[in-house]
């Protein structure tokens, strides 16, 4: 028997001691709809393994559930936006893998994006962060400025100075060093623009569609060859392709950075610019943004309907091609490859099967499944510049899985992923080529380009 | 009303539904510091002998309630398997444990008795749902229940499996039952090299031909494999056919001859027929079962006297036979050497006369000190099966 | 700063400890967000020795220790009270070895349930326990709560799949039970006792997991019914017939509509109940087996019975089932899930009783549960801002669970007691048994410092949990 001399001490199981500091000040005022959506989270934790940052460091505050708890805590005035708290929110990749995992249908990206906007105005910003942000918002989104900025880097690269920069280690701030290292090695000094119109050259003489091609900012400067290949494939499939001259940045960089007004402005311009059956792009990040216009402009009386109509016509290149009755590609490619799902294709656009189907049509191409293929590689738009350490850890994780497959080629449908994985592979001395699925398809249809 | 009958120092307790008599017994024995011994029918010689002064407990009982539509049954621990199976049979159900008809349910739980049926149905851990027992201080303990899932409270129910009657006197248990299979196809095959199983059993379990029950036996210098398929006639035949192609595709193909094929049309469960009563039970990693058997046969040079009943899926080897003391000591040495190499444990069920130098249980396990403490908690005066296992063994550790 | 911080940091490194107030905030609750308590610190050891060293340091300071896996538990078992220190096993996630010949995998406690099965997906083997949280929950957590799931009907709960354990005792000693690829041992089954002990005996650090054959062939059907009691009778008849399906799950009308609006699976909208059912085994025999189940369903007035033979469709069906909970979140912000288990033959009357209670207390109840196991999960929908309703929900829960005990059931089938159901333990167990539970607890933990006052009532502390006042009730994993 257990003799009880003193009765048990009673403690309340409901909540801990009140938080320190001024708990009455609500540091975050969320829109009612967004706050209600935070309440949809039932704290079940099914999002944990989907989250790259949690997988990396195992910290609850770096999981979607934890971040929602933090945002709700801020909104309820239970905690204050200390540097610790905002760091956890900033470490989020916004890859939206948690949305795929969430049973309650929490629309996480709206919550984190709105919170970041509202917290960023209060946050002190360091000089270097400001510089980097400036580059993001004012250069990356403007093709001509981007080309100008890249010119010295390209020249340095041509002259072999890149290696000196690499060796100089800490001379450059880590973010700028990262930017430099991501530059694809074989680009021209000054990328030429695309034509305004490419007529269909159908393989079977049947004209099928008119397509507006969305070229992207970074894409059209650094990956213009992929754009040309995309257009060639579309022409071959029987599509007239127009490259709408008035098109502009998709707005994703501003949107993720919490700058809604510029993002909406870009969206309206793009909606005005395209009048084709389809709007095709080959960059997952841009595609996800284009498909989000309906939500972005839902309260705009002049554009809400047009935005919905626009969104319905947006396709990733890998979504459209399988519908166009393409013949079997004639050129076999004897290679072992693996496929990495870009977050903004897999989680934001839910496109996972079509690219694999397309690659499956190429004779002799062996595709090995990649473990955790839909986990973020750390690129996440501009994340690899703002959170270089986590970005590196995630890239190393990704590369380990890629190495396991034995493939020397990693295929992915997003320029951000491609540049990030490629540069990290180079840094670690991994023999790997990262290519866009379009490039392989192009080779399979037209042979090796000179 | 329960009755307690004293016959010399044997106490027989009937009707476990009312534990009063058992409680009174424990309280009386506590007062008189008289150990209560129930070493079981088939395990009388297992472990250290009981102190000379003790009362011997024999429980009797029967099925208390058969929840026929739930496939569960509440049974007094003193009920024998013969009785239980006979009670269940009219409902086309059975308790899937390979226990001889004269074993009681209490003994089966206390010693975790299992046989080839464990492959398909699991052992006591999987089948036991609830338990009532009297601890060594006379407290009436009820744990678990009659539902198939239950996580309320500590799982003292399953804890008692294999406890050698040292933690409490189980007087009632609730078990899962199963429907008797429609058909049972039994095959007996001679196998030349039992070590073939070590490398191929896992693949076999993945195949359509995976057996519902499997045992390996050794007698008179021959190894035989006893396979059974449970299910419909169609299913049994498909599995039987698949078995042949599985063997033919195995590299190396095992050398086997089918001796016997038998379709159990009676749809009744046939208890496992063993070669001999057990001398020593050895547990090794399953993938070393075959080679361990071969080692024991070849190096002890006493193979003619040995009988083996082996459960390859669970790495359980029951060795029987008539062994003189010197050979038993040699066998024990050999077993200990093998266990030192591959891992595992062994316990002597019956040590031949003159082999007291053999430790009945071994090798010493790291958690015995915790078991000892739990024994002190549940039976502070060491009334229950005093001397048999923990008090003696954990001091060695 | 508490002096223990520096000592702990010396063991786990500065990256392995959190102690600032705003870092601890997210650790105030687990998958049962009613129960809340802020820990003094959270530590992240990466190996068993670090766990042991930390436990010793915590002993010197007489601090409470709370082990935590992925924090998906539904009974508040991983909440630290009394400024206890949480030992998080989320960084102990190494699959140390997989031995297919012996059918055993050795994993660190923080390995996720599904991570193990995924890592051996191409071998034909798997780790069988499948709680709906299996993608997130750790195997250590599954062991601690003896987790259930959907296929347990045929394949058994967690304890049936655990061979051995390594654990750190409250005095910091490392001990093992049956820590070898062997399937039996000597003496009482300590492994079973530690399974389901909700981290109140020791901190489980390494697990020897039994691997079983991953079934290759299935038949999956869903059958709809005009009344819940017909569906329940079917379940009861299937069990009584001796057939053991892999899983047999039930949803009622409210749940079907919620799942349909969330996942657009194509379920009919005008039915009272639906059974989801699966059998596995030998391909050629499954149709026969399924036919007898279908017949039983027809005998009980089943309407449409759809077979789901396409593997993609099948996967979608089970995903819809496993995520069914979230769909409830779309119906009502506040809901409270109960977890009880009853004898399967009592299902029809129990569900009628649930409906009566719903009427009596004027609380909407919807159901999705493991019918084949008799493991019911009535989900009560309410408005958390209405104190009257909150009160009704509390009273309803209590009356329901007491009813379940009275008809031969138990207060929790798979979620555990934690702090949530402490107040019902004396309904479930007699005084002697509760006393022995506490004695056993003290045998492992004489100073009552590991997760004290959880799972069984303690004589030292009582954690009083007034049920939902203003919060969302959990959660994710039924």
CATH of the domain at A339: 3.40.50.11810
Which residues, in sequence order, are bridge partners of residue B261? B187
Asked if residue A306 and residue A268 are part of one domain, the reply reads: yes
Q: Is the pLDDT of residue A241 over 70?
A: yes
For residue C272 the two structure tokens come to 């009272």
- Would you state the pLDDT for residue A156? 60
Please report whether residue B46 resides in a domain.
yes
**Interface touch C465/A14, C-beta < 8 Å:** yes
Total domain count, chain B: 3
CATH number at residue A259: 3.40.50
Question: Rounded CA gap, C196 and C173, in Å?
Answer: 21
Calpha distance A45→C476 (Å, rounded): 7
Cα C68 to Cα C203: distance, rounded to the nearest angstrom: 9
* Least confident segment among A46-55, A302-311, A375-384: A375-384
Nearest-Cα distance to chain C for A56, in Å, is 9
For the stretch C221-237, what's the b/e string if a residue is b when 16 or more beta carbons lie within 10 angstroms of its beta carbon? bbbbbebbbbbbbbbbb
Residues A375, A426, single domain; the answer is: yes
Contact of C453 with chain A, judged by CB distance below 8 Å, is answered with yes
Q: Cβ separation of B149 and C145 shorter than 8 Å? A: no
Q: Looking at the structure, do residues B318 and B196 belong to the same domain, yes or no?
A: no
Residue contact C184–B112, C-beta within 8 A? yes
The DSSP code sequence of A200-236 is ---TTS---EEEEEE--HHHHHH-HHHHHHHHHHHHH
Residue A201 lies in a domain: yes
**Residue B114 and residue B147 in one domain:** yes
Could you read off the pLDDT of A273-293 as tens digits, one per residue?
Answer: 998 999 999 999 899 999 999
Q: Degrees (nearest 5) of the Cα angle B100, B102, B103? A: 70
DSSP-assigned letter for residue B111: T
One domain, residues A429 and A375: yes
State the average pLDDT over residues A74-95.
Answer: 92
Report the domain count for chain A: 4
Q: Residues A205, A235: one domain?
A: yes
Model confidence at A146, in pLDDT bands (50, 70, 90)?
low
- The domain boundary residue, chosen from B121, B155, B179: B179
The verdict on residue B356 lying in a domain is: no
Closest Cα partner for C188 from A217, B5, B158?
A: B158
Same domain for B149 and B37: yes
If 0-12 CB within 10 Å is exposed, 13-18 middle and 19+ buried, where does residue C357 land? Answer: buried
Q: What is the pLDDT of residue B13?
A: 73
Q: Mean pLDDT in chain B?
A: 90
pLDDT recorded at residue A385: 79
- How does pLDDT run across C171-186, given as a tens digit for each residue? 999 999 999 999 999 9
CB-CB contact of A409 with A336 (8 Å): yes
Are A171 and A205 part of one and the same domain? no
Q: In C, residues 352-371, which contact A (CB 8 Å cutoff)?
A: none
Average pLDDT of chain A is 85
Least CB–CB distance from A105: residue in C36, C72, C326: C326
User: What does the mean pLDDT of chain C come to?
Assistant: 92
Boundary (domain end) residue, out of A120, A137, A160? A120
Q: Which residue has the higher pLDDT, A387 or C5?
A: C5
Contacting residues of C for A101, CB less than 8 Å apart:
135
A362/A292 same-domain check? no
pLDDT, residue C477, reads 31
Give how far the C-alpha of residue B242 lies from the chain's centroid of Cα atoms, to the nearest Å.
31
Above 60 in pLDDT, residue A438? yes
For chain A, the farthest-separated pair of C-alpha atoms sits apart, in whole angstroms, at: 95
Q: Of A294, A322, A350, which closes a domain?
A: A322
The yes-or-no verdict on residue B27 having pLDDT over 70 is: yes
Instruction: Write out pLDDT tens, residues B311-329.
Output: 999 999 999 988 889 999 9
Q: Report pLDDT for C474.
A: 40
pLDDT above 80 (res A423): yes
Average pLDDT, stretch A48-76? 95
Burial of C220 (0-12, 13-18, 19+ CB in 10 A): buried
In three-state secondary structure terms, C18 is: strand
State the pLDDT confidence band at A124, using cuts at 50, 70 and 90. Answer: very low
pLDDT at B212 over 50: yes
- On whether residue B361 sits in a domain, the answer given is no
pLDDT at B309 over 90: yes
| DSSP 8-state secondary structure symbol assigned to residue B253 | P
Query: Do the domain assignments include residue B362?
Result: no
Closest residue in C to A39 (Cα–Cα): C333
Is B29 a member of any domain? yes
In a domain, residue B359? The reply is no
Return the pLDDT at A303: 95
Residue ending a domain, choose from B179, B200, B231: B179
Same domain, A271 and A368: no
Give the domain CATH number at B232.
3.30.70.100
Strands (E), C257-377: 273-280, 302-307, 334-337, 340-341, 364-369, 375-376
CA distances from C88 to A189, A298, C140, C343 (A): 52, 43, 11, 36
Given the DSSP bridges, would you call strands C364-369 and C378-382 parallel, antiparallel or unpaired? antiparallel
Residue A298 in domain: yes
- Residues B183 and B265: their CA atoms lie apart, in Å, by 6
Mean pLDDT value of segment A181-209:
80
Q: Are residues B9 and B34 in the same domain?
A: yes
C88: which chain A residues are within 8 Å (Cβ-Cβ)?
58, 60
C62-110 pLDDT, tens digit each: 999 999 999 999 999 999 999 999 999 999 999 999 999 999 999 999 9
The verdict on B167 and B188 lying in the same domain is: no
Distance of alpha carbon C233 from alpha carbon C238, whole angstroms = 8
Which of A26-35, A161-170, B39-48, B255-264 holds the top average pLDDT?
B39-48
Q: Note whether B313 and B203 are same-domain residues.
A: no
* Same-domain status, B147 and B48: yes
**Calpha distance C425→C458 (Å, rounded):** 11
Which residue reads 């801002």 in tokens?
C385
Domains of chain C (ranges plus CATH)?
4-88 (3.30.43.10), 95-213 (3.30.465.10), 215-326 (3.30.70.2190)
Both A316 and A222 in a single domain?
yes
Pairwise CB contact (< 8 Å): B178 & C242: yes
Q: How confident is the model at residue A139 (pLDDT cuts 50, 70, 90)?
A: low
Residue A173 CA to residue A255 CA, distance in Å, equals: 25
Residues 6 or more apart whose Cβ sits within 8 Å of residue A448: none
Q: How many CB atoms lie within 10 A of CB C353?
A: 17
What is the extent of the structural domain holding A161? Answer: 127-182
Q: B301 and B208 share a domain?
A: no
Contact between C396 and C441 under an 8 Å Cβ cutoff? The reply is no
Percent of chain B's residues with pLDDT above 90: 76
How many inter-chain contacts (B to C, CB under 8 Å) are there?
A: 267
Residues 61-100 of A with CB under 8 A from C: 61, 66, 69-70, 73, 78-80, 82, 84-85
Residues A298 and A374 grouped into a single domain:
no
User: d(Cα B100, Cα B40) in Å, to the nearest integer?
Assistant: 13
C-alpha A19/C-alpha B51 separation (Å) is 63
Q: What is the per-residue pLDDT across C141-150, written as a single tens digit (0 to 9) for each?
A: 999 999 999 9
> A315 and A235, same structural domain?
yes
Q: Which secondary structure element, helix H or strand E, spans residue C296, and what is its range?
A: helix C283-299
Whether the pLDDT of residue B265 is over 80: the answer is no
Q: Looking at residue A280, what is its pLDDT?
A: 95
pLDDT of residue A123: 54
Rounded to two decimals, the ipTM of the complex is 0.95
Q: Which helix (H) or strand (E) holds A384?
A: helix A383-386
- Spatial distance between the Cα atoms of C101 and C89, rounded to a whole number of angstroms: 29
Task: Check whether the bond before A269 is cis (ω within 30° of 0).
Answer: no
DSSP H helices, chain B, are 20-32, 81-88, 105-110, 118-121, 124-127, 156-159, 195-206, 233-249, 289-300, 325-342, 368-378, 390-396
Examine the pLDDT at C325 and tell me if it is beyond 80. no
pLDDT at C471: 39
pLDDT of A26: 81
Q: What CATH number did the domain enclosing B18 receive?
A: 3.30.465.10
Q: For position B270, what pLDDT does the model report?
A: 66
Q: Which of A212-226, B256-270, C247-261, C380-394 has the highest mean pLDDT?
A: C247-261
Does residue B212 sit in the same domain as residue B298? no
Preferred mutation among C83, C118, C420, C476 to probe A, highest tally of A CBs within 10 A: C476
Closest CA to C421 of C442, C439, C405: C405
Closest-CA distance of chain C to residue A103, Å: 4
Q: What is the pLDDT of residue A160?
A: 57
Check whether residue B325 and residue B187 sit in a common domain: no
- Rounded Cα distance, C25 and A82, in Å: 12
User: CB neighbours of B193 closer than 8 A, spacing ≥ 6?
Assistant: B223, B254, B255, B290, B294
Please state whether beta strands A335-340 and A365-368 pair in parallel, antiparallel, or not at all (unpaired). Answer: parallel
DSSP H/E element including C441:
helix C431-444
| B167 → chain C, closest CA residue | C188
pLDDT of residue A163: 55
Q: Which of A386, A136, A113 is nearest to A253 (CA)?
A: A136
Q: Please give, rounded to a whole number of angstroms, the shortest distance from the CA of C136 to a CA of chain A.
A: 5
Among A19, A45, A50, whose Cβ lies nearest the Cβ of C70? A45
In the sheet with C378-382, reading across from the earlier edge strand, the strands are C302-307, C218-225, C273-280, C247-252, C364-369, C378-382, C334-337
Question: C462, A11: Cβ pair inside 8 Å?
Answer: yes
Judge whether residue A151 has pLDDT over 70.
Answer: no
Q: What is the CATH number of the domain that holds B312?
A: 3.30.70
Query: Are B173 and B131 within one domain?
Result: yes
Which one of A70, A86, A120 terminates a domain? A120
Tell me the pairing of strands C334-337 and C340-341. unpaired
Interface with chain C: mutation pick from A4, A16, A108, highest number of C CBs within 10 Å:
A16
> Is the pLDDT score of A140 beyond 70?
no
Classify each residue of A373-382 as buried b or exposed e, where b means 16 or more C-beta atoms within 10 Å of its C-beta: bbbbbbbbbb
Closest-CA residue of B relative to C421 is: B152
Q: C451 or A15: whose pLDDT is higher? A: C451
CB contact under 8 A, B159 and C456: no
> What band does B9 get if pLDDT is binned at 50, 70 and 90?
low
State the residue for tokens 């939500």: A295
| Distant-in-sequence, close-in-space partners of A406: CB < 8 Å, separation ≥ 6 | A336, A368
pLDDT in tens, B58-104: 999 999 999 999 999 999 999 999 999 999 999 999 999 999 999 99
Whether A206 is in a domain gets the answer yes
Contact residues, chain A, for C36 at CB < 8 Å: 13-16
Q: What is the per-residue pLDDT for A126?
A: 53
So what's the pLDDT on residue B2?
A: 37
For residue B74, report the phi and psi dihedrals to the nearest 5 degrees.
-105, 125
**Residue C26 DSSP symbol:** G
Residue A24 included in any domain: no
More confident residue, B310 or B276: B310
Nearest CB to C432; choose among B140, B316, B390 = B140
Model pLDDT for residues C10-58, shown as the tens digit of each residue: 999 999 999 999 999 999 999 888 889 999 999 999 999 999 999 999 9
Quick one: A337 and A273 in the same domain? no
pLDDT at B356 over 50: yes
Residue recorded with tokens 């969330």: C262
Identify whether the C-beta of residue C372 lies closer than 8 Å to the C-beta of residue C238: yes
- Confidence grade of residue B294 (pLDDT, cut at 50, 70, 90): very high
Last residue of a domain, one of B156, B179, B202: B179
| Smallest CA–CA distance from C288 into chain B, residue | B232
First to last CA, chain B: 45
Q: Which domain holds residue B306?
A: 278-348
Which among B87, B164, B80, B162 is positioned nearest to B123, based on CA atoms? Answer: B162
How far apart (Å, rounded) are the C-alpha atoms in residues B201 and B198? 6
Question: Residue A2 pLDDT > 70, yes or no?
Answer: no
pLDDT in tens, A327-361: 999 999 999 999 999 999 999 999 999 999 999 99
Question: How far, in Å, CA of B344 to CA of B336, rounded?
Answer: 9
Q: Which residue has the higher pLDDT, B299 or C125?
A: C125
Nearest 5°: the CA angle C31, C37, C42 is 85
Query: Looking at the predicted structure, is the pLDDT value of residue B284 above 60?
Result: yes
Task: Say if residue B397's pLDDT is above 50.
Answer: no
Pair B60, B151 in one domain: yes
Indicate the pairing of strand B93-94 with strand B72-76: unpaired
- Under the banding of pLDDT at 50, 70 and 90, the label for residue A1 is very low
Q: Is residue B26 part of a domain?
A: yes
Residues A299 and A338 in one domain: no
Inter-chain CB pairs, A–C, below 8 Å: 169
Least CB-CB distance to B153: which of C103, C375, C428? C428
């Amino acid at each position: 028997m257990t003799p009880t001399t003193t009765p048990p001490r009673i403690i309340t199981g409901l909540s801990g001691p009140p938080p320190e500091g001024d708990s009455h000040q609500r540091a975050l005022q969320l829109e009612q709809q967004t706050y209600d959506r935070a309440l949809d989270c039932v704290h079940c934790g099914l999002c944990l393994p989907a989250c790259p940052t949690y997988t990396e460091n195992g910290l609850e505050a770096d999981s979607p559930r934890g971040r929602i708890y933090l945002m709700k805590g801020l909104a309820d005035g239970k905690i204050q936006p200390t540097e610790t708290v905002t760091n956890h929110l900033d470490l989020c990749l916004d890859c939206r893998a948690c949305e795929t995992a969430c049973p309650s249908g929490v629309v996480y990206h709206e919550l984190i994006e709105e919170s970041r906007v509202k917290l960023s105005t209060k946050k002190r910003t360091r000089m270097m962060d400001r510089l980097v942000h400036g580059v993001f918002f004012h250069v990356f989104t403007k093709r001509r400025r981007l080309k100008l900025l890249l010119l010295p880097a390209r020249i340095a690269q041509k002259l072999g100075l890149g290696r000196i920069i690499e060796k100089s280690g800490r001379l450059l701030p880590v973010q700028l060093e990262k930017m430099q290292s991501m530059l694809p090695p074989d680009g021209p000094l000054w990328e030429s623009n695309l034509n305004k119109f490419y007529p269909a050259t159908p393989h079977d003489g049947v004209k099928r569609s008119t397509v507006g091609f969305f070229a992207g900012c970074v894409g059209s400067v650094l990956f213009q060859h992929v754009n040309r290949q995309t257009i060639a494939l579309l022409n071959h499939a029987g599509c007239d392709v127009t490259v709408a001259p008035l098109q502009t940045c998709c707005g994703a960089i501003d949107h993720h950075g919490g700058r809604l007004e510029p993002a909406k402005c870009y969206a309206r311009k793009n909606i005005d610019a395209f009048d084709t059956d389809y709007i095709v792009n080959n960059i997952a990040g841009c595609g996800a943004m284009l498909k989000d216009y309906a939500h972005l402009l839902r309260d705009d009386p002049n554009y809400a309907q047009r935005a919905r109509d626009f969104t319905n016509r947006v396709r990733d290149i890998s979504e459209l091609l399988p519908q166009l009755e393409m013949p079997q590609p004639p050129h076999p490619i004897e290679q072992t490859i693996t496929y990495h799902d870009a977050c903004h294709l897999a989680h934001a656009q839910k496109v996972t099967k079509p690219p694999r189907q397309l690659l499956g049509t190429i004779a002799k191409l062996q595709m090995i499944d990649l473990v955790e293929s839909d986990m973020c590689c750390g690129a996440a738009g501009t994340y690899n510049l703002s959170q270089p350490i986590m970005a590196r850890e995630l890239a190393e994780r990704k590369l380990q899985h890629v190495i396991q497959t034995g493939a020397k080629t990693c295929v992915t449908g997003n320029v951000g992923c491609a540049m990030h994985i490629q540069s990290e592979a180079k840094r670690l001395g991994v023999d790997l080529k990262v290519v866009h699925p379009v490039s392989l398809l192009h080779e399979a249809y037209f042979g090796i380009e000179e | 009303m329960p009755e307690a009958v004293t016959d010399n120092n044997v106490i027989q307790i009937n009707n476990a539904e009312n534990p009063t008599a058992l409680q009174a017994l424990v309280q009386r024995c506590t007062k008189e510091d008289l150990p209560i011994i129930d070493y079981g029918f088939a395990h009388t010689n297992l472990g250290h002998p009981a102190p000379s002064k003790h009362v011997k407990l024999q429980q009797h009982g029967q099925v208390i309630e058969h929840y026929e539509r739930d496939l569960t049954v509440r049974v007094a621990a003193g009920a024998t398997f013969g009785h239980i199976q006979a009670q269940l049979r009219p409902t086309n159900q059975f308790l899937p444990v390979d226990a001889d008809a004269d074993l009681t349910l209490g003994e089966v739980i206390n010693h975790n008795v299992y046989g080839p049926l464990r492959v398909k149905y699991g052992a006591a851990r999987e089948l036991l749902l609830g338990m009532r027992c009297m601890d060594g201080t006379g407290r009436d303990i009820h744990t678990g229940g009659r539902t198939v899932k239950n996580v309320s409270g500590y799982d003292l129910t399953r804890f008692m499996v294999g406890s050698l009657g040292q933690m409490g006197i189980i007087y009632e248990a609730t078990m899962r039952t199963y429907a008797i299979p429609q058909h049972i196809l039994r095959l007996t095959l001679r196998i030349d090299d039992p070590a073939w199983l070590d490398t191929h059993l896992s693949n076999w379990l993945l195949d359509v031909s995976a057996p519902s029950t499997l045992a390996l036996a050794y007698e008179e210098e021959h190894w035989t494999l006893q396979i059974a398929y449970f299910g419909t006639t169609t299913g049994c035949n498909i599995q039987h056919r698949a078995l042949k192609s599985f063997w033919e595709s195995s590299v190396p193909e095992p050398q086997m001859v089918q001796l016997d094929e038998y379709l159990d049309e009676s749809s009744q469960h046939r208890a496992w027929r063993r070669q001999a009563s057990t001398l020593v039970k050895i547990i090794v990693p399953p993938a070393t079962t075959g080679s361990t058997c071969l080692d024991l046969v070849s190096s002890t040079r006493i193979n003619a006297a040995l009988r083996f009943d082996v459960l390859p899926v669970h790495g359980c080897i029951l060795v029987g036979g008539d062994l003189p003391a010197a050979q038993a000591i040699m066998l024990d040495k050999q077993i200990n050497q093998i266990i030192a190499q591959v891992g595992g444990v062994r316990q002597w069920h019956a040590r031949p006369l003159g082999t007291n130098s053999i430790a009945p249980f071994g090798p010493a396990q790291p958690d015995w000190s915790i078991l000892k403490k739990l024994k002190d908690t549940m039976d502070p005066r060491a009334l229950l099966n005093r001397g048999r296992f923990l008090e003696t063994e954990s001091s060695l550790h | 700063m508490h002096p223990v911080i520096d000592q702990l940091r010396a063991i786990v490194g500065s990256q392995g400890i959190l102690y600032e107030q705003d870092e601890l905030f997210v650790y105030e609750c687990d998958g049962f967000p009613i129960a809340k308590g802020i820990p003094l610190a959270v530590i992240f050891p990466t190996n068993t020795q670090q766990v042991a060293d930390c436990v010793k340091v915590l002993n010197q300071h007489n601090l409470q220790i709370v082990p935590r896996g992925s924090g998906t538990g539904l009974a508040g078992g991983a909440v630290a009270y009394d400024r206890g220190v949480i030992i998080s096993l989320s960084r102990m996630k190494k699959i140390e070895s997989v031995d297919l010949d012996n059918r055993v995998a050795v994993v660190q406690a923080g390995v996720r349930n599904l991570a193990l099965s995924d890592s051996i997906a191409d071998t034909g083997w798997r780790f069988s326990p499948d709680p709906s949280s299996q993608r997130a929950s750790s195997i250590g957590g599954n062991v601690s709560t003896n987790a259930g799931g959907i296929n347990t009907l045929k394949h058994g709960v967690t304890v049936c799949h655990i061979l051995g354990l390594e654990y750190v005792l409250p005095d910091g000693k490392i001990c093992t039970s049956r820590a070898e690829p062997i399937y039996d041992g000597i003496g009482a089954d300590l492994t079973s006792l530690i399974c389901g002990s909700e981290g109140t005996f020791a901190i489980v650090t390494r697990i020897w997991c039994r691997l079983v054959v991953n079934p290759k062939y299935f038949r999956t059907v869903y059958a709809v019914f005009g009344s819940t009691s017909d569906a329940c009778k079917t379940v009861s008849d299937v069990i009584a017939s001796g057939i053991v399906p892999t899983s047999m799950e039930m949803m009622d009308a409210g749940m079907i509509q919620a799942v349909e609006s969330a996942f657009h699976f194509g379920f009919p909208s005008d039915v009272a109940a639906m059974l989801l059912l699966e059998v596995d085994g030998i391909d050629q025999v499954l149709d026969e087996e399924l036919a007898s189940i279908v017949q039983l369903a027809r005998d009980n007035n089943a309407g449409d019975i759809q077979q789901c033979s396409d593997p993609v469709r099948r996967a979608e069906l089970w995903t819809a089932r496993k995520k069914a909970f979230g769909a409830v979140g779309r119906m009502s912000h506040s809901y409270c899930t109960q977890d009880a288990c009853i004898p399967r033959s009592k299902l029809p009357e129990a569900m009628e009783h649930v409906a009566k209670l719903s009427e009596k207390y004027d609380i909407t109840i919807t159901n999705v549960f493991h019918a084949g196991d008799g493991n019911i999960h009535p989900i009560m929908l309410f408005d958390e801002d209405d104190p009257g309703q909150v009160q009704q929900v509390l009273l309803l829960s209590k009356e329901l669970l007491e009813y379940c005990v009275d008809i031969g059931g138990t207060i929790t089938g798979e979620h555990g007691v934690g702090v949530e159901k402490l107040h019902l333990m004396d309904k479930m167990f007699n005084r002697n048994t509760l006393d022995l539970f506490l004695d056993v607890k003290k045998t492992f933990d004489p100073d009552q410092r590991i997760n004290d006052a959880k799972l069984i009532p303690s004589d030292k502390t009582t954690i009083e949990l007034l049920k939902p006042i203003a919060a969302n009730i959990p959660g994710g994993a039924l």
